């Protein structure tokens, strides 16, 4: 029973670690609503400039399908 408990804890730790690393990886990803360009912008500003079309884009959460 103890072995199953340890394995369950290791599994939970791995799943949580994967989710946190994926969240960190996608934190600065921005999608332009005008041209559809996906780019990386580490600035904390809510409005950024798209490198492809030059328009100002408001930061939104990027959903993976």
Is 6 within the bounds of a domain?
A: yes
N-terminal to C-terminal alpha carbon distance within the chain: 38
pLDDT at 63 > cutoff 80: no
Is 39 within the bounds of a domain?
A: yes
Per-residue pLDDT tens over the stretch 6-61? 999 999 999 999 999 988 887 888 888 889 888 888 887 889 999 989 899 888 76
Q: How confident is the model at residue 65 (pLDDT cuts 50, 70, 90)?
A: low
- Is the Cα dihedral 23, 19, 35, 32 positive or negative? negative
Is 17 within the bounds of a domain?
A: yes
Is 45 within the bounds of a domain?
A: yes
Q: With the CA atoms of 55, 37, 62 and 40 taken in that order, what torsion angle do they form, in degrees rounded to the nearest 10? A: -90
Instruction: Tally the domains of the chain.
Output: 1
Identify which of 52, 57, 51, 30 has the alpha carbon closest to the alpha carbon of residue 41: 30
Q: Structure pTM?
A: 0.56
Is 65 within the bounds of a domain?
A: no
Is 7 within the bounds of a domain?
A: yes
Is 64 within the bounds of a domain?
A: no
Is 10 within the bounds of a domain?
A: yes
Structural domain span for residue 33? 2-58
């Amino acid at each position: 029973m103890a072995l199953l408990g340890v394995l369950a804890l290791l599994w939970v730790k791995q799943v949580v670690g994967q989710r946190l690393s994926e969240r960190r990886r996608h934190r600065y990803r921005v999608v332009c609503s005008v041209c559809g360009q996906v780019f990386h912008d580490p600035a904390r500003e809510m409005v950024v400039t798209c490198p492809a079309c030059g328009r100002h884009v408001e930061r939104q959460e990027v959903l993976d399908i």
